[in-house]
Chain A
Amino acid sequence: DVKVTQSSRYLVKRTGEKVFLECVQDMDHENMFWYRQDPGLGLRLIYFSYDVKMKEKGDIPEGYSVSREKKERFSLILESASTNQTSMYLCASSPRTGGSYNSPLHFGNGTRLTVT
């Protein structure tokens, strides 16, 4: 079974702090993704990466950055946390099939971040 592990289930941070969310997958997948999920808004893509040291902006990248130094690890960074970044953050991975993105994603169990 594919396993995507997020380092924290719950996190509470103060406004202005720098926050690191870590994600590791064990299936040698090329693609990795960071989403946030909010009631009524569904899943929104923040950043994704299709290879080591590569990154692409998703739909809502403002206020976030990412790092992918190793194939299995994808980190999401909140440079200066704000209260509107309180959310559930979900990491996912998928294999690259023919260079496209038509493989199902495998998700971690999420990090519930509260910024006060």
Chain B
Amino acid sequence: EDQVTQSPEALRLQEGESSSLNCSYTVSGLRGLFWYRQDPGKGPEFLFTLYSAGEEKEKERLKATLTKKESFLHITAPKPEDSATYLCAVPGFQKLVFGTGTRLLVSP
């Protein structure tokens, strides 16, 4: 069965304290991996697509990387406005399979 597991469930950082979020997946034949950001009370906002192991994508303080079994979302020198829930998802059979997300809180 296709499965996505995200860790940690929650992460508290000080402003400027870099860290990484993990997304492990089990799927038959990876056809991409997606990262989303979700702010409270809003829908998920698409961030990145990664298609093959070794691929990297960057956006401001965020960098996503992909291996054959997992993806990392690296956050460099985060700011309070980076506080959100970060979701990852992979295409399964006829649908995307989502992880339950990592809640990130960045304190000033």
**A interface vs B, CB < 8 Å?**
4, 33, 40-43, 45, 48, 56, 58, 90, 92, 100-102, 104-110, 112
Contacts and interface: CB of A to CB of B under 8 A. Distances in A.
Contacts of A48: 94-95
B43 interface: yes
Nearest to B34: A104
B43 A90 contact: yes
B21 to A, nearest CB: 15
A106 B31 contact: no
Interface of B: 31-32, 34, 36, 41-46, 49, 87, 89, 91-92, 94-96, 98-101
Contact of A43 (B31, B92, B98): B98
A112 B99 contact: no
A102 B32 contact: yes
5 contacts: A40-B100, A56-B94, A92-B43, A107-B36, A107-B44
A48 to B, nearest CB: 7
Given A41-B100, A42-B99, A102-B32, A107 B94 contact: no
B46 A105 contact: yes
